[in-house]
Structures are given as C-alpha cells and as structure tokens.
Amino acid sequence: MAGNTFGTLFRVTTWGESHGPALGAVIDGCPAGLDLNEDDIQQALDRRRPSKGVASTSRVEKDQVEILSGVFEGQTTGTPISLLVRNADARSSNYDDLKDIFRPGHGDYAYWKKYGIRDWRGGGRASGRETVARVAAGAVARKLIVAAGIDVIAYTKSIGKIVIDPKSLTQDQNWKDSVLRNVLYCPDPIAAAAMEEKLAVVRKEGDTLGGVVGILIQGCPAGLGEPVFDKMDADLAAALMSIGTVKAVEIGDGCTVAVKKGSQVNDPMDAKGFTKNSAGGILAGITTGQDMVLRVYCKPIPSITLPQQTVDLDGQKRSIKIPGRHDICVIPRIVPVCEAMVCLVLADHWLRQKAVRL
C-alpha cells in the first residue's frame, strides 16, 4: 500500500491496523542530539486515549509506547526512530457479522474496490486507531519545534451546533491550560457543559456528532514554506485532510474571503509589522511570523447503532446496526491528532529552511 510516508526531510512512515497486534511509526531524518524519552511521547498518547467523558468509546487501550531504535542514553542518534504501540483490548468478534457488508460512511467499499480485499475487523488501516502512530511521531516532531520556539495548541471550537464564545480565547490568559484540563479540550466551560449534555442525548439516540477543531501556532519564524507546490498552507491542509474524519480545512479568514473585498482581506503593515492577520500567518505559501490560525472540520463518526440501508459483497440489500465500541464524537480525541500533524509539517519545513539559508 503506497501513501504511508509523510514529509520530505523529517519523514514518517506509519503502519498497523485497528485489530492487529500493534501499530507504530518509523521516523527518518530526525537530527541527532535531541533529548527524547518514552515519557515525552507517552504524554501525547495519553491525551489521545479515550477519556471518561460521554463522547468516548469503552475500548480501553493503554497505548504504552516503546522506542525500539534511534535513541541512545536519552538522545536521538540521527538514525531511524522506530516506535511501537501494542493493541491489547481488540475484540474482533464484534465485527464478525459485518465482514461481508459495506458499512455506510466507512471506507469498506472504497478499500474493496481498490484492493479486492479488506480487513473488516474495526476498519483495519482505515480505523481511527491508526492515528495513534501519528500522535507518537508528532510528539517527536514537537520536541524539535519547541526547541525552535514554536508552540502548537489545538482545541475544540464546536461540537454539532454548539460553538465556543470567541472571547474565551482572549479574555482568559490561561485558556491554553484550561484546554488541557477540560475533558473535551474546550476553552469555554459554558459551551463545554452544553456539549456534554448534547452528546449524552445523541448517545441515547444511537447517533453521532461532528465538530470543528481550532488550531493556533505561535512563535513560528517568518520564511518557512516553499513558494510553489510545497506551500506551508498546502502542506498543512494536506496533513490535516489526511486524517480520516476531516472534510475541510480553513486558514486565516478561510472561506469568508470569497465574499470580501481586497481592502478587507489584505493585511496592512506599519513600522511594527502587520496590523491585521486575515491571511492566518501565511502569504504566498510562506510563513510571515504572525500567529497561524487554522480550523479543521470533522464529520460525524459513521458507526451508529441506528438501522442503516446498505448492500453486501454480492450486491444484495441489507439493513444493519453497527455493534462494537465507538466514540460518539471524534472530538476531542482528534484534537491531539491535529496537533501532531501540524507538528510534523512544521518540523519538516523548519529543517528544510535550515538547508536553504545560512
């Protein structure tokens, strides 16, 4: 299967399936001398694990990472870093009745048409479980960019029709800490409470909800990104769109620029720098040194217990209810995945920039 490697200089290959023995990542291109241990990676994986909140699955995986290579005495050696996370709580029998049926909204039909074979146990490679490898690799990338002064934080902007108050990001100086403490990674406690109530109702209905993840990047120097095909915004969008649940990505003013005038969209400058940030910190595919602002739109999880119409491998009509243990909303568990993909892009472009200018 092609397409499992991401990046140019900081390259990551992920492997593994939802119900296989393990998942993992191989990182090639990480510079030598970076302080790194399993605890650094484990913190990120713990954020991705199911919480005790109403949105999460009952599948309990410890997601304990093992560093197999590329680190010696707490420092990277410059050789490939191999990371392993074992599966311990897979229950493949939950999917026995679905092995000949295409689940609506899943990748079953597309995988079948492409390969003529598919792993029906929880979705195999198309499962959200695959993202555990991304988060592990992203934790290494974060260590690299933090050393360069770059900070990345993602948060829950909305779930369903419930949206945070934008003032929650400006009035509270400690809103980033609030995000990390909140079970939904939501900076607005009032909106978070409403989200949990709504999720409880939707769970009882047998349905699911989507949402929007906000991402803020601070401290990124000007000049990262390539001006033509490898634009910073293009690579960020590609990275985030590679997450299975993501259907759209906005940067800066996003889709609203289509109905604005140039005078409204252009970012003026004075002696101190930019006075506005419509562009979201990127111009001509290159970072400006301003805050980078992104929004990621995620679809509802397709595994629902409501009856759905579909067909089997023989094209016969079938009605199914999907069993198993599933999240009710991909948010908040997708929040650390979004952060990881952004960190991978920034680490790659930071190394690329060091290669083109002294």
The pLDDT of residue 356: 87
Report the percentage of the chain scoring pLDDT > 70: 94
Instruction: Count CB neighbours of 2 within 10 A.
Output: 4
pLDDT of residue 242 exceeding 90, the answer is: yes
Give 251's strand partners: 294
The pLDDT of residue 226: 95
The pLDDT of residue 52: 55
The pLDDT of residue 18: 83
Q: Of 165, 149, 129, 182, nearest to 16 (Cα)?
A: 129
Query: What pTM did the predictor assign?
Result: 0.93
Instruction: Count CB neighbours of 251 within 10 A.
Output: 20
Residue 2 pLDDT level (bands cut at 50, 70, 90): confident
Q: Long-range CB contacts (< 8 A, 24+ apart) of 314-318? A: 318/101
Number of domains in the chain: 1
Per residue in 37-50, pLDDT (tens digit) is: 999 999 999 999 87
State the sign of the Cα–Cα–Cα–Cα dihedral 215, 28, 285, 353: positive
State the sign of the Cα–Cα–Cα–Cα dihedral 318, 246, 53, 18: positive
- Degrees to nearest 5, angle at CA 338 with 336 and 344: 100
pLDDT of residue 13 exceeding 70, the answer is: yes
The pLDDT of residue 249: 98
pLDDT of residue 131 exceeding 70, the answer is: yes
Q: Is the peptide bond before 332 cis (omega within 30 degrees of 0)?
A: yes
H/E/C letters for each residue in the chain? CCCCEECCCCEEEEEECCCCCEEEEEEECCCCCCECCHHHHHHHHHHHCCCCCCCCCCCCCCCCEEEEECEECCEECCCCEEEEEECCCCCHHHHHHHCCECCCCCCHHHHHHHHCCCCCCCCHHHCHHHHHHHHHHHHHHHHHHHHCCCEEEEEEEEECCEECCHHHHCCCCCHHHHHHHCCCCCCCHHHHHHHHHHHHHHHHHCCCECEEEEEEEECCCCCCCCCCCCCHHHHHHHHHHCCCCEEEEEECCHHHHHHCCHHHHCCCEECCEECCCCCCCEECCEECCCCEEEEEEECCCCCCCCCEEEEECCCCEEEECCCCCCCCECCCCCHHHHHHHHHHHHHHHHHHHHCCCC
Output phi, psi for 313, to 5 deg.
Answer: -60, -25
Residue 58 pLDDT level (bands cut at 50, 70, 90): low
Q: Comparing 324 with 249, which gets the higher pLDDT?
A: 249
Per residue in 68-107, pLDDT (tens digit) is: 999 999 999 999 999 999 988 666 666 777 788 999 998 8
The pLDDT of residue 60: 63
pLDDT of residue 150 exceeding 70, the answer is: yes
pLDDT of residue 324 exceeding 70, the answer is: no
Per residue in 258-278, pLDDT (tens digit) is: 999 999 999 999 999 999 999
CATH number of the domain residue 117 falls in: 3.60.150.10
Residue 162 pLDDT level (bands cut at 50, 70, 90): very high
Question: At which residue do the structure tokens 């101190």 appear?
Answer: 272
Report the percentage of the chain scoring pLDDT > 90: 73
The pLDDT of residue 123: 75
Residue 27, domain extent: 5-354
